[in-house]
Structure formats: C-alpha cells, structure tokens
Structure 1
Amino acid sequence: MLKIHHLGRSQSERILWLCEELGVAYDLVRYDRDPVTILAPPDLRALHPLGAAPVIEDDGVVLAESAAIVEYVIVRHGGGRLRLGPEHPAYADYLYWFHFANGNLQPVVGRLMMVGRVGLAPEHPVQKAVQGRLDRVTALVEARLSTVPYLAGGEFTAADIMSVFSLTTMRLFQPIDLAPFPGIHAYLRRIGERPAYRRAMAKGDPGFAPMLA
C-alpha cells in the first residue's frame, strides 16, 4: 500500500488531499515540526537527502517533490483522473496552472518570507521587487478565478490541489492579505466545501482549522 510521509502544516497536505479525492488507500506517517527550528524532525529527514516533505513509498519506490508525487499517484493509482489530457480543450490551461503553483506562486511567497526575515525596510529595492512580484502573481490568480470556478477552467483538477497550499497553510509562515481578492475568497470557499479536502486536513493536521478566508 502507498505510504505517505506527511510533515504537519506543510505542502505534503497536497498528497493526502489527492489520495482522498481519488479514493486511493494509503498509510499515513505523520511528523511534527521541531518546535524551535520549525524544520522536519531527523527521522523524516533520513528518508531523502533533501530532508523535506512530502515523501512517499510505494512498492520499493521512494519519491519526493510534491508535483512529481501528484503525477505519479494520478498515473499509477488514480487511473489518470484529475488531470486533463492533450485531447481536452483546457489542456494548456491545466498544464500552466499545475506548474504555476511551484513555478511562481509558492516561490514568491517563500522569497517574501526570506526577505522579511532579513528585516529590510519596505522601501528597500529588494523588498519592493519581491512584494511587487507577489502582487502581480496574486492579481493573475484573482483574474483567473474571477472568470472560472477552478484554475484549469470548469472542472476541479490537480492544478487546484497543487495551488491551494500556497493560498492557505503557507500563510502561517508568511501572512498574505487576501482581502482585496474576492475571486480567490470564493474559490477557497468552494475548496473548503469539498469532503475530500476536509478529510485530508483533519487527518494530516488534526485540530488545525484550514485558512480558507
């Protein structure tokens, strides 16, 4: 059976959610962050040279990187569901938004977090550049979600599973004001109504209320 190594309050929530949506059975091994460093504990770091979650084990395969794991699970265990193929009219949209999550959205939130820890003044050129990039990224997401219910278009896909963490749980580490974005707010409310999302969050982070507003 698929084994998911999940670090609490991390992007590995994507994999739990994916499996819940697909109805894929899995064993959950949950880890808590070090209370001082907020990093993964040694037993999780020992699973993979980069020491980060998520990590899965499946019939002798050990795989990291959330996007790679999502594609692997969809193909190996999900019958290809939740991804759009080349024949689908929204195929290009699906590809773009699936990769947008780790190519733009998550990195810019991470950069803002790192810059904030350095303590640069708001008018510092680096601080302004990173904030400006985040503003453009969130504006693009808002524009998209103001016209379609899900990132790939009319149907829920793995592109949504890849993206929601950066708009929700990641805000524990880097607060982002989403008040100016009604399209994103409505989208997150739709996500929060999904039973699979609620199950995944309850299993992966019991007692934690998803940051959907």
Structure 2
Amino acid sequence: MIVLHHLNNSRSQRILWLLEELELDYQIKHYKRDAQTNLAPSTLKLIHPLGKSPIITDGDVTVAESGAIIEYLVERYGAHLKPKADTEALRQYQYWLHFAEGTLMPPMVAKLVFDKVRANAKPFFVKMIANKIADKVMEGYYMPIITSNLEYVDTHLQNNLWFSGDELSGADFQMSFPLEASFSRGGGKQYPAIAAYVQKIHQRDAYKRALEKGGEYAYA
C-alpha cells in the first residue's frame, strides 16, 4: 500500500493529485506546519532524515523529492503519463520535470524570503534598511529572472495543451505547484496562458478529489 506523508500547503499536493489521476489505492498521513515557524513537524524525520514533504512509502520503498516521486509513480503505475522514447514529447517531459525545481522555484523562494524580511524587520530604522536591501536585490537580480522564466513558460503554454505537448504527463504535476503559487499571487493577469493552464488543472475531477482529501491548500 502506498502511503503519502502529506504536509498542508506544500508540494505534496501535486503528488496527491497524481495519485488521484492514477486511481491508485493509497493512504494519507497528514502533517501540519508549525504555526510560528511554518516548518514541517519533526515527526516527518521518522520517515526521512530531512523531514520534508512530500514523501511516499510503497511497501519497503521510501521515496522523497517531488520529481523523484513523480518519476517513480509514473514508471511503476502510470506509463501512459510518460511520452514514448526518442520523441520530442519525451524531451519536453524531461526538461519541464527538471525545470520546475531547478530553474523556476529557486528565485520564487528567494522572493518569498525577502518578502518576509520586509514584513518582519523591526524596529523602524532596521525595517527601512532591510527594505532597501531587499528591494535592491529583488529589482536587480531575482525579479528579472522570475519575469523571464514566467514569460518563457507562458509562451510555451500558448503553443501547447500540456507541458510535453498534446497529452497530460508527469511534467504537468511537477510544474503545477510553482504555477499555482505564481497565479495565487496575482501572476495570472500578466501571464494569461499560465492562468488558463492553472484553471484547467483545477477543473479536473482528480484534482478536485485531491483537494478534498488533502485539506488546507492555499494555492488552490
């Protein structure tokens, strides 16, 4: 039996969506973020030393990291979600599967960190200095990268139904989280193809079932 160790408001939601799309028998073990730190609870370290979600166990097998989990589930249970060998669709599949966390997410996480610096810096003179530093780094480095990345994704989605072409694939599950995060923060107005894509996946029956089972998820 597959067990998904599921943390609220996390990348785990895309694994839950995949499990529902595959119509597999599985169990969910729910974990809640710490209200003060927003970190995963230490009990997750009993499953994997780093204590981060998502993690799945499948019998004696433990798999962590979203991309690795998606590849494992697709290879073992969902061959139809991986394009055929030596095709452009497969090359796109592999590219976007790695692009999501290798290129798209790091500057978005940096933006989140700097936003928290702005919000939490005290007293006033410290806040003023912190804001200036954060603004300079964001405007001079991270925001141009984020904008370039999202424009690139939006252009791809203008010309493709799904990330690997005409068919849903494992790459779509991997890409869903960063695009949902962007869309939830108002990115849909600037990137209409991304907005349409996010709305499309939110309308899927499997996605709706995953939301019902997963609980709190701010990006939906």
Q: TM-score, normalised by structure 1?
A: 0.89
- Equivalent residue letter for 1:29: K
Cross-structure match for 2:106? 107
Cα distance in structure 1, aligned partners of 2:165 and 2:10 = 26
Cα distance in structure 1, aligned partners of 2:152 and 2:70 = 24
- 1:111 positional shift: 1.6
Is the aligned partner of 1:134 residue 2:146? yes
Cα distance in structure 2, aligned partners of 1:83 and 1:8 = 28
Question: Partner of 1:150: helix, strand, or coil?
Answer: coil
Max radius of gyration: which structure?
2
Contact 1:9 1:169 survives alignment (8 Å)? no
Deviations 1:101-145 (A, max 9, x none): 111112221121123333443651454200110000000011111
- 1:44 positional shift: 1.6
Cα distance in structure 2, aligned partners of 1:209 and 1:39 = 15
Contact 2:182 2:188 survives alignment (8 Å)? no
Higher helix proportion, which one? 2
- Equivalent residue letter for 2:158: S
Cα distance in structure 2, aligned partners of 1:123 and 1:95 = 35
Contact 1:98 1:163 survives alignment (8 Å)? yes
Is the aligned partner of 1:81 residue 2:93? no
Cα distance in structure 2, aligned partners of 1:31 and 1:181 = 33
Structure 1 pair 49–37 and aligned structure 2 pair: CA distance change class (3 A): same
Aligned-residue CA RMSD in angstroms?
2.0
- 1:77 positional shift: 2.5
Gaps of 5+ in 2: 119-130
Gaps of 5+ in 1: none
Question: Partner of 2:80: helix, strand, or coil?
Answer: coil
Structure 1 pair 199–156 and aligned structure 2 pair: CA distance change class (3 A): same
Structure 1 pair 25–209 and aligned structure 2 pair: CA distance change class (3 A): same
Q: How many residues align?
A: 207
